[in-house]
Amino acid sequence: MNIPYEPILFGYNINVHLFLEYLAFFIAFRYYVLLRRKSSDVISSNNRVSIILGAALGALIGSRLVGFLENPFVDISQENIIQLLNTKTIMGGLFGGLLGVEIAKKRIGETQSSGDLFVFPIILGIFIGRIGCFLSGINEFTYGIETTSIFGMNLGDGQLRHPVALYELIFLTLLFLSLNRIKNKTTLKSGDLFKWFMILYFTFRFFIELLKPNVFYLFGLSTIQILCLICLLYYHKTILNIFKNAG
């Protein structure tokens, strides 16, 4: 199989990344529904719907906004504007979704933590989407910089590059297993599982961005790295507690 992988079905080229992206949303949501049925959710169904809507709206705005900011200096043209409007990123979606949830909870007066049920469906959804990123090779801006290491792969341009999407698939597998073990073996406060996920995933993404051909235009950091720092600052109390308890 060559990368980029572009299968042909009934004479039409199939966009594997787009197909897996929609599949990720569907499977992740069905997984969430299954987990909620098996859990004793303290949040009412009406409030949970409001929270999901807040998350969806925040994720939509955040993913587009951060996607646009990843390419802030492109030439203004109709083609570039259309491309930028279609650009989105999971990092902006996650943080935008977080803010959307917090706004929705304040509007409806919900005080219970709501993120834990989303953790494993989110990881599964990202995992499926990253398979699409990997199979798309250099057709998607998820490929790595050139390397001479044993990990280098030809992603479609004849150069050996870091397969950062593949690195992330490995990390997501370990993250899923680790958080599941923590959930089953320890007693966590409501909301802590989601906080752990956000801290670990955003920390990973901060460092993996160093292996991508990004635009480092502010303080030597890319847009995603700046967002990672903002997220970690948002959770600074949790991070301090983690180090305090570890000590």
Give CA torsion, residues 79, 80, 85, 91, to 10 deg: 150
Kindly state whether residue 24 falls inside one of the protein's structural domains: yes
**Res. 28: pLDDT tops 90:** yes
d(CA 93, CA 86) in angstroms, rounded, equals: 14
Residue that wins the pLDDT comparison between 111 and 237:
237
Spell 34-71 as b/e; 16+ CB within 10 A means b: ebbeeeebebeeebeebbbebbbbbbbbbbbbbbbbbe
**Res. 91: pLDDT tops 60:** yes
Q: What is the mean pLDDT of residues 212-216?
A: 77
d(CA 176, CA 182) in angstroms, rounded, equals: 10
d(CA 192, CA 66) in angstroms, rounded, equals: 26
Q: What is the mean pLDDT of residues 201-218?
A: 87
Residue that wins the pLDDT comparison between 181 and 111:
181
How many domains, in total, are found in the chain?
1
Mean pLDDT of the chain: 84
Q: Which two tokens stand for residue 134?
A: 């990997």
Taking alpha carbons only, the member of 176, 85, 96, 84 closest to residue 128 is 176
Q: What is the mean pLDDT of residues 217-231?
A: 86
The 3-state DSSP class for residue 78 equals: helix
* Confidence at residue 186, expressed as pLDDT on a 0 to 100 scale: 82
d(CA 71, CA 49) in angstroms, rounded, equals: 34
pLDDT band at 178 (very low <50, low <70, confident <90, very high): very high
The 3-state DSSP class for residue 9 equals: strand
**Res. 81: pLDDT tops 50:** no
d(CA 79, CA 170) in angstroms, rounded, equals: 35
* Confidence at residue 30, expressed as pLDDT on a 0 to 100 scale: 94
Kindly state whether residue 83 falls inside one of the protein's structural domains: no
Kindly state whether residue 92 falls inside one of the protein's structural domains: no
* Confidence at residue 84, expressed as pLDDT on a 0 to 100 scale: 47
- Specify the amino acid at residue 182: I
Kindly state whether residue 47 falls inside one of the protein's structural domains: no
Angle at 96 between CA 174 and CA 191, to 5 degrees: 55
The owner of tokens 């903002």 is 230
Residue that wins the pLDDT comparison between 80 and 10:
10
- Specify the amino acid at residue 30: R
* Confidence at residue 71, expressed as pLDDT on a 0 to 100 scale: 63
Return all residues near 235 (Cβ < 8 A) that are at least 6 apart: 195, 198, 199
Share of the chain above pLDDT 90, in %: 34
pLDDT digits (tens, 9 = 90+) for 157-168: 888 999 999 999
Domain that holds residue 32: 8-42+112-246
pLDDT band at 82 (very low <50, low <70, confident <90, very high): very low
Kindly state whether residue 51 falls inside one of the protein's structural domains: no
Kindly state whether residue 231 falls inside one of the protein's structural domains: yes
Taking alpha carbons only, the member of 208, 195, 204, 205 closest to residue 240 is 195
Kindly state whether residue 54 falls inside one of the protein's structural domains: no
d(CA 123, CA 4) in angstroms, rounded, equals: 24
**Res. 80: pLDDT tops 50:** no
Kindly state whether residue 171 falls inside one of the protein's structural domains: yes
d(CA 22, CA 128) in angstroms, rounded, equals: 10
pLDDT band at 170 (very low <50, low <70, confident <90, very high): very high
